[in-house]
Every structure is written in C-alpha cells, then in structure tokens.
Structure 1
Amino acid sequence: MKTIKPLLLVLGMLPMLAFAAGSMDGHASHGTATKSAAGQPGKPAKVSRTIDVAMSDTMRFTPDSITVKPGETVRFVVRNVGKVEHEMVIGTTSELKEHAQMMRSMPTSKHAGPNQITLAPGKRGTLVWQFDGPGTVDFVCLVPGHFEAGMVGKVVVK
C-alpha cells in the first residue's frame, strides 16, 4: 500500500511530467524540460544577452523582474548568495504551482535541467532559455517553503 500512494501522485502529475520529466525518487535530480508555454531550452550559440540573478535567504531573487523580446535566448548566471540551498525554476504560473505541490511530497528532490537549477550556498550555475511569444513567464524557488515565502520573479516577454 505504501508504494501505491507515490504511484498515484506520479500518475496525477502526468501533465507536469511532460514539462519536467526525469527521475522522481526523491534522491536524484529530476526535470528535463522540453518546450512549454514558458518557452524552450535555448541554444548557447543563440544567446543574445546574459542576465545575472542572485538568490538570497530573504527569499528573493535580484532582479525579480526581467523584460525580454519574443524569441530571445537568454543566459541566466544564477548565484546563491545565501546560507541555504535555493533554486531557480522557469515555467508558467500553472506549471510551477503544480510542481510546487509535487515538491511538498518530495522535499529532498533536486532540480537539474534546461529550465531549472538547484544551488548550494555560495555556488553559481547557468540556465539558457528561449522565450517564445509575448506574455509573462515566472521563475521561482521550489525548495519547500521558499515559493510560499514569496521567492518568485517574472519575465515579461514583449
């Protein structure tokens, strides 16, 4: 019976799995994003600019609002300037809320993929993402409690 509950959780998450597929055993990295309403993994050779993003223990991203053009490919250089683990996950509001719910049941799971990165204190990494059509895309920290504490940002595509 103990294995049925996680199975039902995963089956209920099939739409999200199309966005963030990968290992979900709670110990390995998960999430290899493919094209979504938030855009798609970018090609490093097509990067038009680099944006530095800091993640802090005040549960904030700096900057927390970014404007890009439709079709633009951006390299995010993400730094964890805090003393606890943080992550940056790019997606639509609905994708991220659904993923946050899933993370509550797998708090030790780590993110690694084209739209997501988990960083230990003092570490940095990069994400390359192409933003498609006009609209708003979110980025959040899905470490349990961080999203709920307001660790969110917006990318306005216009």
Structure 2
Amino acid sequence: MKPITTLMLASTLVFSGLALAHGDEDHGAPSGPVRKEQKDWGIAGDASAAKRTLEFRMTDNMRFTPDRIQVKQGETVKIAIRNQGQVMHEFVLGTKKELDNHAALMMKFPGMEHSEPYMAHVAPGKTGEITWTFNRSGDFDFACLIAGHYQAGMVGKVKVVAASGV
C-alpha cells in the first residue's frame, strides 16, 4: 500500500470513531437513548419491563458475588452492580469468545473504557446498572475486563433457560 493511502486509511479510522481505545470521557450513565443491538446473549432492555433486580458485588479479590445466575429466555432484568473494592471494576456481559477477545484488547489498551448497554464501568464505592433482555437461551458469561482482572478470575456464568412451549 502506498504511504499516502496508509495515512489516509489510518486517519479515517481515528476520526470515524472506530479507533480501538475509547477516550477518557465519563461512562457513568448513558447520556442518550440506549442503543438496542441484538447480541448473541440478548438485547438492551427497557427498565419498565424488568420484573426483578439481580444484585452483584465486586471486590478487590477479583470476584463477583454471586458468580452464577439463571434467567428465563425472554426475561428482562435489572442488574445492579456494587463495587465494594478500592479500585475500578466493571461488569460486562458476553460470550466467552467475545470476552476473551475484549480482555486481550484491554491488556494492550489498559485505559480503554466502555459505553455499551451490556457493560457497566463502576468506580470504588459506587453502583452501576444494566437492564438486559435475555432473549436467547444458552450459556453466557460476564466478567471484569480491566487489565489483569479477567486473567485473575473475575468472571461469572449466566444460564438462560429456554422458555417452555417455544
């Protein structure tokens, strides 16, 4: 590839928002409507549709409590995540493959932050929330993808049980 073409391609990626690392902007509460994009593990849910709240704790021993949950296919839940540690943690839903890939990126770009509806970046002593509709059955995962946390075992499992009669 010619040098000018390479430079133009790199510039396009950086200025189009497709760069791998996110900026330092605050990713607390979403500032606009939640982007609903179907994922293998479900889709962002409406808070009004959540009939129950699942509460999680994150600690600096690199563990979630609980570390396993079960939901019914089609169920929308509010996930409340409390960081009881002294360092930043996050809660990210996904498939094992997606989490493995994202964790590898986080090792390369440790300052990377997230703003997807299936992710909550939670400061020490704070609480984050996700509202999620588990509309596909199967076994999925959640994890803290901050560099080193995933590798230390900060992971959990989600079992989505198929709706009966479907």
TM exceeding 0.5: yes
1:20-41: CA deviations, max 9, x gaps?
x8873443468x6721101110
Q: Distance in 1 between matches of 2:43 and 2:151?
A: 25
Pick from 106, 129, 132: which aligns with 2:132?
129
Aligned position for 2:89: 86
Q: Distance in 2 between matches of 1:107 and 1:29?
A: 16
Q: 1:125 to 1:25 in 2, by over 3 A?
A: closer
What SS is found at the alignment partner of 1:149?
coil
Q: 1:97 to 1:42 in 2, by over 3 A?
A: same
Give the AA of the match of 2:140: V
Q: Distance in 2 between matches of 1:36 and 1:67?
A: 18
> Which stretch shows the higher mean deviation, 85-94 or 33-42?
33-42
Q: TM-score by structure 2 length?
A: 0.77
Aligned length: 144
Aligned position for 2:49: 46
Q: Distance in 1 between matches of 2:19 and 2:80?
A: 23
Aligned position for 2:24: 27
Please state which structure has a larger fraction of its residues in strand.
Answer: 1
- Any gaps of 5 or more consecutive residues in structure 2? 28-34, 162-166
Give the AA of the match of 1:63: P
Q: 1:57 to 1:75 in 2, by over 3 A?
A: same
Give the AA of the match of 2:79: F
Tell me the percent identity. Answer: 43
Q: TM-score by structure 1 length?
A: 0.81
Aligned position for 1:151: 154
Q: 1:22 to 1:76 in 2, by over 3 A?
A: farther
What SS is found at the alignment partner of 1:111?
coil
Tell whether the 8 Å contact from 1:29 to 1:112 is kept in structure 2 after alignment.
no
